[in-house]
Amino acid sequence: MIPSAVPQPAPSRDPRQPRLCRFEIHYRNSQGTLMRLLTTVSRRGLDFEQVRAEPLAGGSASGGADLYRLVIALRAHSKHIAQMCRDWRSIVDIVEVRQPVELESETSVSN
């Protein structure tokens, strides 16, 4: 008899521990926008696991400024995540902030 594959419950994560998350932010490449995005993280004393900024396929937004995508991976508590998302959305040239995706392990950051 073949034992049935019973799904194992996910290990409970300690809510007091920071979690590794990845954010994707779309922004207009105007002067200082990228620095404002990065400063939001660094002023909280958080370390970047990954930072990548690249042009978004699809050309220009209204006003002629190019659209870019910023991908940030970092370890943060849920309180910091909420604060950073709120701060990023308040920046004028931010088009979209995608909610964090919690990463399973540190090896998935390098992809």
Q: Per residue in 36-49, pLDDT tens?
A: 999 999 999 999 99
Q: Coil, strand, or helix at residue 100?
A: strand
Two tokens, residue 21: 């998350």
Least reliable range by pLDDT among 25-39, 47-61, 86-100: 47-61
Q: Quick one: 9 exposed, middle or buried, by C-beta within 10 A (0-12, 13-18, 19+)?
A: exposed
> Using 50, 70 and 90 to split pLDDT, how confident is the model at 60?
low
- pLDDT at residue 18 in the model: 87
83 pLDDT more than 80: yes
From 88, 71, 69, 84, select the one nearest 18 (Cα to Cα).
84
58 pLDDT more than 90: no
- pLDDT at residue 96 in the model: 95
Model pTM greater than 0.85? no
Which CATH number among 3.40.640.10, 3.30.70.260, 3.40.47.10, 3.30.565.10 corresponds to the domain 25-101? 3.30.70.260
From 68, 34, 49, 37, select the one nearest 111 (Cα to Cα).
49
In angstroms, what CA-CA distances link 23 with 7, 52, 71, 97? 29, 11, 6, 7
> Using 50, 70 and 90 to split pLDDT, how confident is the model at 17?
confident
d(CA 27, CA 12) in angstroms, rounded, equals 35
What are the extents of the domains in the chain?
Answer: 25-101
Q: What is the DSSP-derived secondary structure letter of residue 6?
A: P
d(CA 104, CA 99) in angstroms, rounded, equals 16
